[in-house]
Amino acid sequence: MQTLLQTQPLININKLNLYYGAFHALKDVSLTIPEKAITAFIGPSGCGKSTLLRTLNRMNDMIPGTRIEGSIAIGGTEIYSSDVDVETLRKKVGMVFQQPNPFPKSIYDNVAYGPRLHGITNKKQLDEIVETSLKSAVLWDEVKDYLKRSALSLSGGQQQRLCIARAIAVNPDVLLMDEATSALDPISTLKIEELAQELKDRYTIVMVTHNMHQAARVSNQTVFFLNGEVVEFSETEKLFSNPSDQRTEDYISGRFG
Amino acid sequence: MMTTRKEFDHGLEQLHNLLVEMGTFVEEALVDSMKALSGTDTEKARAIINNDQHLNNLEDKITDLGSKLIATQQPVAKDLRRILAAFKIASDLERMGDLCVNIAKFVIRLEGQPLIKPLIDLPRMAEIVQTMTYESIQSFVQENVDLAYKLATEDDQVDALCAQISRELLSLMMENPRNISQATVLNFVARNIERIGDHATNIGESVVYLVTNKRPDLNTQHSI
């Protein structure tokens, strides 16, 4: 088994092409995503941003007819190499989805699930991981007295923070957030955004968002996609104040897509 | 697929119209103040002072409308700069109106006494500044950077005329100390017209910022 991300996590995507059957979903995408920062993917529906996000922990492997050319290296390791263990990859590259998806288990068991799966059985050690992860996800104070309660009893925003706690419980290097706040109310959204800001000191975060203002508020770099291609990749401040490409300007100004 | 943002574009059009109205108002105030000066017409001067509140109200309207557009439409990039530039330009125009009021107050201070010399260069200066005011607003409406840069050259002409007027008035004061009081007033008038020109140039800078996201200094670039 190849161990991932022994070096600093830095994602290098080189001439990536992805096909869903005959449909060419990603075209010659080349990007270098810096570590310990938030990178946002924006673009109209069907532009390929979620597809690219899913390639980073090989979620597309499960979609029949998917073909990939090019390379993605995380921390210097080629993740599509035949000797990469996908389970280990997903431990190191965690993901949070649009809809909070806690397991129908207790709050404690949700967070302890990943560590247990990876062989940790010591109760004290698990308690520590659960507490640290819930604190990191800024949920501990709200749930510390109810850890045995069902995760499904939490509000949507709390459930999403629980999913983040669950993802970080296995100590990932990269956290992928696929529209992680689009199902949440503004207050919960703000909490997740603040959480992302805190987590970026420890994790490399890549987020897909339809909310351009969220990308502008939260991310350090932004990538604008159109028809499967990268149109512009730059510092978020630059992209939202003075984009280089007219198509980016049209999109972020709401005059396109 | 290209889409339009009707509400936002309509708001921008309203901002343009308000700025054009402010610009036209300033042009008229400048013309009137020069007429009041040449005729030492205190009535006309008082009218300029009284009408200035309208300009202040227009600036408030621009602040309110621009704030509403930012809050409700969340513009970014050039759209955001359009509104930020409108705020800055409205502030410049409001100040230009205040400078016209200053000229009107100087006219009242003359108390109808005949002028110590026929006015030649002051009206020339005012004419150039009036053109600059018009062009500055047009450069904003058309987002025309060339027109904005042209203001810097015109501002140099205004500065040169102002210096020339000051020298001439100094000579008159040295010739006859009785001229000192009125020559000082006329010198202040020249300074105020020159400041109006500077504000027009500031508007040009706002336009260059709007279009290019860079901040040039048009007031010193060509300065003499």
Specify the pLDDT at position B222.
Answer: 53
pLDDT tens by residue, A178-237: 999 988 888 889 989 999 999 999 999 999 999 999 999 999 999 999 999 999 999 999
Q: In this structure, are residues B178 and B189 in contact, taking their beta carbons and an 8 Å threshold?
A: no
Q: Which of B3, B5, B213 sits opposite A242 (nearest CB)?
A: B213
Specify the pLDDT at position B223.
Answer: 44
Residue of B nearest to A44 (CA): B1
Contact A249 B1 (CB under 8 A): no
Please tell me what DSSP assigns to residue B126: H
Contact B3 A254 (CB under 8 A): yes
Among A210, A249, A255, pick the best mutation site for testing chain B contact (most B Cβ within 10 A): A255
Please tell me the pTM assigned to this model: 0.80
Contact A253 B75 (CB under 8 A): yes
Contacts by B78-82, CB closer than 8 A, 24 or more apart = B78/A249, B78/A253, B78/B210, B78/B211, B79/A253, B79/B8, B79/B12, B80/A241, B81/A241, B81/B209, B81/B210, B81/B213, B82/B12, B82/B15, B82/B210
Specify the pLDDT at position B205.
Answer: 96
Specify the pLDDT at position A227.
Answer: 96
Residue of A nearest to B77 (CA): A241
Number of cross-chain residue pairs from A and B with Cβ atoms under 8 Å apart:
37
CA nearest B154: which of B119, B122, B125? B125
Specify the pLDDT at position A109.
Answer: 97
Tell me the chain B residues in contact with residue A211 when contact means C-beta distances shorter than 8 Å. Answer: none
Total residues belonging to chain B:
224
Q: How far apart are CA A131 and CA A141, in angstroms?
A: 10
Band (A247; pLDDT cuts 50, 70, 90): very high
* Mean per-residue pLDDT of chain A: 92
Specify the pLDDT at position B72.
Answer: 86
Contact B213 A241 (CB under 8 A): yes
Q: Is the per-residue pLDDT at A257 higher than 90?
A: no
Ranges in chain B, pLDDT < 70? 1-4, 221-224
Tell me the chain A residues in contact with residue B7 when contact means C-beta distances shorter than 8 Å. Answer: none
Specify the pLDDT at position B219.
Answer: 75
Contact A240 B77 (CB under 8 A): yes
Q: In this structure, are residues B159 and B194 in contact, taking their beta carbons and an 8 Å threshold?
A: yes
Specify the pLDDT at position A255.
Answer: 81
Contact B74 A213 (CB under 8 A): yes
CB atoms within 10 A of CB A237: 13
CB atoms within 10 A of CB A81: 11
> What is the mean predicted confidence (pLDDT) over A26-31?
96
Interface pTM (ipTM) of the complex? Answer: 0.70
pLDDT tens by residue, A38-96: 999 999 999 999 999 999 999 988 889 999 999 999 999 999 999 999 989 999 999 99
Strands (E), chain B: none
Q: How far apart are CA A250 and CA B3, in angstroms?
A: 9
